[in-house]
A and B are shown apart, each in its own frame.
With several copies, the nearest count.
Chain A
């Protein structure tokens, strides 16, 4: 049992990365994430938190180093297809995530890409909306929602893919306490879920994660 729990699902070794014509964000960066972990990620603006998430999802390519996810090394675009099906990333800006006209279509996008059939997709859709308290939002036009509503819907779009690991980039921004409370409850009631949450909201992190990592100067450290 102990062994199983220690199964590392994300393993980053000696990774270096820089945006074109910018200083390096990471230099020989190391990070391990284990199954079942629920960690918070903090660090000042521009310390590279979002960049780390994008590297894990294969949206950016490191100049050096090794990324191993689910026990396999991930290098080229094709390696990340599986990663993206099993790890769900909620973007910092919900408008980037909601590209379909209606809430229902947007939530269905992921499951349909995973080749779920229509019936299954509809079922997932209904359940996801229920869990996130969004029932009745099906036919709302995504770009008319308030910021808070957009946030919840963008969480829903990822939730509908039933990922094993969630990467949440500032999930509580623009949300009021009630909605934050709902998210806390949802996260806590799905105890099998592993996740990493980037947030400036200390209270929220305390309620949802077991430990906090600090990102600073291209290094990551448990606090």
Chain B
């Protein structure tokens, strides 16, 4: 869900950079050195997960998992996602320097929203509730990211409205897939290592 270089207007880029810088700064402030290996290693997991391609009908998509990232890392999700996207930029040229701010914000803000919405819920005693919430978490995170990508396009210029609509529609199946995967994944963590969910 990266927006390529050269598309967005200067005001949108600048807004993205300043919002991301502020949020990353806050995230770093909240993270002490002791948490460094944890944030870094979980951030690596999300980076690696983004390399996993899962079949979806005739084509395949890669995992995003920003919902789980948010629930597990809280505000550290901002620096973690920034680092992961920067690595993708240098290694695979997915995105570049100027869009790093916007792209990070589009991925990480939904993560933080999921953190506040579901952080409690996924620790509920009731298995069924957890499963449903986890599904919504995965679904919503991708939906919000899609909406933000669309918004960034629309703020750049009216002519992008069509493109923005398509971005959201194209992500609908991905939302469902991410929801299912997130539900199974949270279920796995609950069974195997419930401590991880206790941020």
Contacts and interface: CB of A to CB of B under 8 A. Distances in A.
Nearest to A143: B192
B30 to A, nearest CB: 21
Contacts of A131: none
A81 interface: no
A141 interface: yes
B116 interface: no
A46 interface: no
A30 interface: no
B37 to A, nearest CB: 8
B188 interface: yes
B52 to A, nearest CB: 13
Interface in A107-160: 141, 143-144
Contacts of A71: none
Contacts of B193: 143
Contacts of A144: 192
A114 B191 CA distance: 26
A102 interface: yes
Nearest to B193: A143
Interface residues of A, number: 5
A20 B149 CA distance: 38
Summarize A's interface: helix, strand, loop or mixed.
Answer: mixed
A101, A141, A143, A144: most-surrounded residue (chain B CB, <10 A): A101
A147 B188 CA distance: 20
A102 B191 CA distance: 9
Contacts of B192: 101, 141, 143-144
A102 B188 CA distance: 10
A101 B192 CA distance: 6
A116 B10 CA distance: 48
A144 B193 CA distance: 9
B79 to A, nearest CB: 19
Contacts of A101: 187-188, 191-192
Interface in B165-199: 187-188, 191-193
A141 B189 CA distance: 11
B2 to A, nearest CB: 27
Nearest to A101: B191
A210 to B, nearest CB: 37
A141 B193 CA distance: 9
A143 B191 CA distance: 10
Nearest to A102: B191
B150 to A, nearest CB: 36
A209 to B, nearest CB: 33
Contacts of B188: 101
B187, B188, B192, B193: most-surrounded residue (chain A CB, <10 A): B192
10 contacts: A101-B187, A101-B188, A101-B191, A101-B192, A102-B191, A141-B191, A141-B192, A143-B192, A143-B193, A144-B192
Given A101-B187, A101-B192, 7 more contacts: A101-B188, A102-B191, A141-B191, A141-B192, A143-B192, A143-B193, A144-B192
